[in-house]
């Protein structure tokens, strides 16, 4: 299954919860790129500037990293995509790689998105996502699960956030019609509390 929705709509949080419940991998192309950047691989060096500025990596590179990830054994029983596809070209490529059973679009007001993104903190080890006000860690800036120091993503500043939201409208919004036409799309109001959103998603996917 896959999540659509602008940055900050809760795709990562919901995908992680579903992944734990279903025992299938949470595949985030953003995380895959960040891993490569941290390890300073040739791919990481190539995409670093694009990620920092909030632009989109080319479809060619993105589809390839996704294809490789979905080829690993743990994805045989299924997977949850977060942040892919982001363009019609990517959706088209995905349809040639595997079948999708559910597409869930998380909808949020712009005000909520900006508040969430600018207060977001992430764990570099387990990828758990926190928010300084609405989902704080027990000890400030320390992950509850593994004790790692939380960090603020470089692209979670107002300038990059505005760029990412504009790109979402231009490049990714058309995917609603794409998956809607296939009868796969369901909308969920993602502005609400995480527990409430998650319950609605569970009902939709019937788990
Ligand atoms: P995310 O963690 O999903 O917010 O992604 C962080 C950044 O990674 C995005 O702003 C893009 O620069 C890049 N990225 C992630 N997924 C994609 C994708 N499907 N297509 C193009 N760029 C992507």
Instruction: Say which DSSP state 77 is in.
Output: T
- What is the reported pLDDT for 188? 98
CATH, range 2-205: 3.40.50.300
**Alpha-helix residue ranges (DSSP H) falling in 74-151:** 88-97, 110-118
Shortest-distance atom of ligand 1 to CA 167? 10
Instruction: Examine the pLDDT at 207 and tell me if it is beyond 90.
Output: no
Cα of 29 vs centre of ligand 1, distance in Å, is 6
Instruction: Examine the pLDDT at 86 and tell me if it is beyond 90.
Output: yes
Question: Is 153 designated active site?
Answer: yes
- The half-sphere exposure of 4 on its side-chain side, counting CA atoms within 13 A, is 28
Question: Is 107 designated active site?
Answer: no
Cα of 83 vs centre of ligand 1, distance in Å, is 6
Residue of 177, 187, 40 whose CA lies nearest to 104:
187
Provide the whole-model pTM: 0.93
Cα of 188 vs centre of ligand 1, distance in Å, is 21
Question: Is 11 designated active site?
Answer: yes
- Give me the mean pLDDT over the 192-199 stretch: 96
Report the DSSP pairing between strands 2-4 and 185-189: unpaired
Question: Is 115 designated active site?
Answer: no
Percent pLDDT > 70 in the chain is: 100
Mean per-residue pLDDT over the chain, rounded: 96
Partners of 82 in beta bridges = 3, 28
């Amino acid at each position: 299954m896959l999540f659509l929705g602008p940055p900050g709509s809760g795709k990562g949080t919901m995908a992680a919860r579903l992944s734990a419940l279903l025992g299938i991998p949470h595949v985030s192309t953003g995380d895959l790129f960040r891993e490569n950047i941290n390890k300073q691989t040739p791919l990481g060096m190539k995409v670093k500037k694009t990620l920092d500025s909030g632009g989109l990596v080319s479809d060619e590179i993105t589809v390839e990293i996704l294809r490789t990830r979905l080829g690993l054994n743990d994805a045989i029983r299924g997977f949850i995509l977060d942040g892919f596809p982001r363009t019609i070209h990517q959706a088209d490529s995905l349809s040639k790689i595997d079948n999708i059973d559910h597409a869930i679009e998380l909808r949020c007001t712009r005000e909520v998105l900006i508040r969430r993104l600018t207060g977001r903190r992430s764990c570099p080890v387990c990828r758990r996502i926190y928010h300084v006000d609405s989902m704080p860690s027990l000890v400030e800036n320390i992950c509850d699960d593994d004790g790692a120091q939380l960090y603020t993503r470089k692209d979670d500043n107002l300038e990059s956030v505005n760029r990412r939201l504009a790109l979402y409208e231009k490049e990714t919004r058309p995917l609603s019609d794409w998956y809607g036409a296939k009868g796969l799309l369901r909308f969920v109001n993602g502005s609400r509390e995480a527990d409430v959103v998650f319950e609605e998603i569970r009902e939709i996917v019937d788990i």
